Amino acid sequence: MKVLEERIRKEGLILSDTVLKVDSFLNHQVDTGLALQTGREFKEVFGHLPVTKILTVEASGIQFAMAAGIAFSVPFIYAKKKKAVTLSEDVYSAPVHSFTRGEDYQISISQKYLGPEDKVLIVDDFLATGAALVGLADIVEQSGAQLLGVGCVIEKSFQEGRSLLEKRGIAVHALARISSMAPGEVHFIANEELIKESAGC
């Protein structure tokens, strides 16, 4: 997604070779039009699949799940992050380790909103270590729903997230794929072809 790569070049704040801040237009202040456009892009890629629900995790996935929900005309669910989930709650949950914050938390969704009849597209802002996305994939598995793919806005391709997901047979698409970065410079991978043939798992 060229316009996204341009915005990252212009407005992204690269603090180190792993830390990129995009909070002027994606995940603190949000360019509403650009967010909407990410939804249309995900529709381009996954639109041939019978998606019934979009799944993301709070908070910074919500605007992109909303955009995808609009493009697909389906509801979205955002998993909650908590320090701990009590066993009494009727939730699907998965542990996630945040490398950024050096802490563990649980993500969970109510069992009421996902079941074997659902076909799910997971959407999030970043794909890096893949920790949160693998947790979301676990939740889909627990629910018995079918996972049709993962769509991310920005991928740090030099981290292991994509390979963790692809090893599980999950189709992954990222709108901007960063191959390397350092303060003052960022390099992108030319995006893959539409993954219509391989999507679905």
Min separation Cβ 77 and its own copies, Å? 5
* Window 33-62: residues binding its own copies (CB under 8 A): 33, 35-36, 53, 58-59, 62
Judged by CB, which is closer to its own copies: 110, or 179? 110
Judged by CB, which is closer to its own copies: 147, or 172? 147
- Evaluate whether 35 touches 67 at the Cβ level (below 8 Å): yes
Place of tokens 């070049």: 9
> Which bin fits 73, alpha (ψ -120 to 50), beta or left (φ > 0)?
left
Cis peptide before 59 (omega within 30 of 0): yes
Q: Mark the segment that binds its own copies (CB under 8 A) among 69-77, 96-104, 133-141, 161-169.
A: 69-77
Residue 84 interacting with its own copies (CB under 8 A)? no
- Evaluate whether 127 touches 150 at the Cβ level (below 8 Å): yes
**Count of residues engaged in binding its own copies, rule: CB under 8 A:** 32
Task: Give SS3 for 139.
Answer: helix
* Window 85-114: residues binding its own copies (CB under 8 A): 109-110, 112-113
Residue 30 interacting with its own copies (CB under 8 A)? yes
Give the Å distances, CA to CA, from 152 to 91, 93, 116, 144, 183.
24, 21, 24, 23, 23
Place of tokens 């303060």: 183
Contact residues toward its own copies (CB under 8 A) are: 23-25, 28-33, 35-36, 53, 58-59, 62-63, 65-67, 69-70, 73-78, 80, 109-110, 112-113
